[in-house]
Structures are given as C-alpha cells and as structure tokens.
Structure 1
C-alpha cells in the first residue's frame, strides 16, 4: 500500500536522507574490471509496482514513491547542511544540489514496522560502483564521529558486520549512537548489483542483531529477485 500523511513525512524524510548519504559522496575511481553487471531499466512506475509487490508480503508495510521522496529533498538538504559533523571529512560535501545529483536516478522506499528499505536505480552500473567505492572509503575513515544539530551533540561508532547476499556487493554496519545519557543502535545494510542500490535500516541491539542481519540479507535477495 502507499504511504499516507503523517506517515510519509517521517518515513520519506528518513528515506531521502538515507539515499542522499549513499549518493552524495565524491565519486571515486572505479575498477572497470570489477563490474556490477549490466544495467536494468526501471522507470518510476515500474519500480513502484515492484515495491508494491514486495510490500504485499510485509504486514503493515507502506510504499513511498519516487515523487513522494523528491518532494522531501529540499527539507533533507537543509537538514544535512545544518548538521555539524566532527571530523568534518565525515560529513557530506555537496558538489551539486541533491535534486540535481539524483535527477537521473529512480527512487523508492518501503517502511515496514521499524525497518526502512530504500531502492535507487542509477543510470548505469559504473556510476553506482564509483559512488559505492567512495562511500566504502568514507565509512572506513569515519568509524567514529560526532554530530551536532540544534545545539545537541551525539557521538557515533560504526562497527562493520559480516553479511552476504546475492548482490554483487554487500556490507553491513551496526551504528551505535550516544548523547552521553542514552545509547541506541541501528543496523545498516547496503547492497549493490547492476545499477541498483539497496539499503535496509533497522533499530537493533546485541541480542537481536544476528537475526536482524539475516533478515536484512533475505530482504536484499527478495528485492533483487523482484527487480530482475
């Protein structure tokens, strides 16, 4: 089913931020011999139909369309520009406005309980591979960083997790955040195959993380099958 307000305001904002974080790193040189496979053509309507089929098996799931996500881009860009990240290299440097960087991609998302699943179809696999390499390098250099927004600071730590899927590339992290009083953890799994970037985010903890990691990999596999 499609997401409706006020659900869409929260879910779409989170989805846009997730897509932007994955798409706005400075491109890195990519090994052309390490191909992600031939591109798959999907327009916004086709992606929405595929996500609706996927969401049909997820109780209470809501689909967020390309148009709905794009309507949230201005707010997402403003929020990201207002955030202070230390060290600064771990923040986002905008080579161009978000709308411009994502104009040639098709986006969609699914909110299922406390899980947020994002999909971006890039114009070609080479562009995606370049962005993947840049984001992987940034994650390696930024295992610890802090974020300050609206006068409040929060420290983060990224712990890489072992995860496999049918995608050409898959990686996972547990992101632990703390404001000095309260600590929370979130599992982030991203996968790339052909020209498709998939992401799964979910609140987690030490006891549930293995189960959530396996479920995220299963979600990636199911979406790849749905999109092929």
Structure 2
C-alpha cells in the first residue's frame, strides 16, 4: 500500500473511528450520571470534544498501524470514562446499564450510518463527487461500530460484556469473574495474538456489517 492509498484510507476512516470511540465513552458516562454517579461530569468527560477522550495509543497509534498494514478491520479505543460504581443507586444492577450503553451506542451508530448510506447512494449523478466519499465513510462507520459493539460484548472484564456478566451472574460466580479484571487486557492481547478474535469476531462483524450495508445498497 503506497502513501496515496494510506492517506485515502485515513481520510475515509478517521471521522467514523473518532465518532464511534468518543460516543461510546460518553454514553457510559452519561448513563452513569443519570443513575447517580456524576464522576464523568465532574471530570469534564461528558463532552463531544475529542481532545478530552483521545488516547495516543488506542485512538491514534493502533488504528493508524492497522491502516498501514492494510487490515480489513480497524480497532481502537479512547480513554475510559471514569465511573464510580459505589455511587450508583443499585451498583450491581446499574453496572449492567452503564456497561451496555457503549455497545448499544455503537449499534445505533451502525444503523444510523446504514440509513445515511441509503440516502447517499440515491443522490443524483451530479452529486457523485460527494456521494462516493460519503458512501465509503458510511460503510467504514458501519464496520467499525460493529467491531466495537461485538468486541466489547465479550464476557471478559474489563470489557463491557464482562461487566454486564458480573451484574447478571449470581454473587459467587460474579465475584470469580470480577477477579479476572486485573488480567483482562493481558488475556485479550493473548487471544488476539492467537487469532481467536479474528476467527470468532471476524465472521460476526462481516455478517452483521454486511447485512446493514446490503440493506442500504440498491444492488
């Protein structure tokens, strides 16, 4: 992949990736705030200003490396929005809603992107100069949001799915699962290197994103 191709891919993926990551984190903080924990609001993280959420590694370096390597899927993350579960009205139950807010937001963004794509592909030929890049950005948004949605629903702390599982499982099982949190990212990296995520998540992302894209395209 030459420099021109890399720059073109960056121009297509940059905005969808940034929106997906930022809104994912803001959703966590917003739901926590509604359920009694104002930590994110107090720390100025309930904002769409990307500067407040950018993580140099997760938001910039990892997606950029994947673009350069020509990966079919991009992945990234922002600085986690701080949540103090002790401040929630019902910590065990409310933890589920706070954790679910991120993946749910990504699913909504994917569906909205598909609806926008449906409009874009029906723009008149005279608008093709704008329709083509917009269509590519919508497809990138669908793919990336489904990656974030499905990946974060894996039942492994500190991923959102792990926190949901801790909230749903009975006390002893929830406690055992929560003990994995300090080692969660090490396990994630190990599974990634072993190709587990590519084998399991890849087909799920391809199927869900493909369904939304095909639903929007007229052919």
Q: Shared fold (TM-score greater than 0.5)?
A: no
More strand by share: 1
* TM-score, scaled to structure 2: 0.32
Larger radius of gyration: 2
More helix by share: 2
* TM-score, scaled to structure 1: 0.32
